[in-house]
Amino acid sequence: MMRELADLYFQQAGEILPALEEAINHNDAVPVNNLAHKLAGSSLACGMSAVVPSLRQLEGGAKAGHLNGARELLADVNTQMVDVRRRVPDLLLQYRA
């Protein structure tokens, strides 16, 4: 069950991150706010908290109507996501019993 949850999380993140990048590239704050909020919430729900601070900063800036530093924040999210994805298999081994 934990593996399925992780798979669903990474599938959703794999859909959200490109859409987030596209919204940033188009300087469109509304979808950046919505997408960052959605991914931050699912990250917290799944225990993938490493990506949350940058997502919350993206969300906050977008909510305020600006995307200053958004590309850098997205790069940080992507870096953290790689690290999280690398660590998850070891964590899932703890649930094998």
CB atoms closer than 10 angstroms to residue 91: 12
Q: Could you give the dihedral angle defined by the CA atoms of residues 30, 38, 17 and 1, in that order, rounded to the nearest 10 degrees? A: -170
pLDDT at 3: 79
**Tens digits of residue pLDDT in 43-93:** 998 888 899 999 999 999 999 999 999 999 999 999 999 998 888 777 666
* N-term to C-term CA, the chain: 12
Q: Tell whether pTM > 0.85.
A: yes
CB atoms closer than 10 angstroms to residue 21: 18
pLDDT at 94: 64
Superfamily of domain 2-93: HPT domain (1.20.120.160)
